[in-house]
Amino acid sequence: MQSKKNVKIIKERLLEHYPSAKTELVFKNNFELLVCVMLSAQCTDKRVNLITPALFERYPDAKSLAAANLSSLKLLINSCSFFNNKAQNLIKMAQAL
């Protein structure tokens, strides 16, 4: 599949040029990383790291986030920019997973 090959090439090139790149986002697994990245758009990593502990305590996995109440989720992430759209998209992402 061409797209998988392209992703591999891009990843290899990035790692070649930035071998010790690190993120400031705090996460424990791929699900948490995906949520953090979604929240980080137009928001600082520092702000995301303040939001996510309570978020992951309430919704520790995709299954629980997929069943989240939209209003409750918005309250948890309301200090993040564009929280209305992000809450909807987080639930959609979790449902897709």
pLDDT digits (tens, 9 = 90+) for 31-79: 999 999 999 999 999 999 999 999 999 999 999 999 999 999 999 999 9
Domain presence at residue 9: no
pLDDT tens digits for range 49-59: 999 999 999 99
CA separation for the pair 46, 8 (Å, rounded): 30
Q: What is the pLDDT of residue 21?
A: 83
Q: Is residue 11 part of a domain?
A: no
pLDDT value of position 22: 86
Nearest to 40 by CA among 1, 3, 83: 83
Q: What is the pLDDT of residue 44?
A: 93
CB 89 within 8 A of CB 97: no
Which residues form the domain of 77? 29-96
Structural domain count, the chain: 1
Domain-embedded: residue 24: no
Report pLDDT for 1. Answer: 55
- Whether the per-residue pLDDT at 5 is higher than 90: the answer is no
80 within a domain of the structure (yes/no): yes
The answer to whether the CB of 24 falls within 8 A of the CB of 46 is: yes
pLDDT number for residue 11: 87
The CATH number of residue 75's host domain is 1.10.340.30
Burial 73-89 (b: 16+ CB within 10 A, else e): bbebbeebeebeebbee
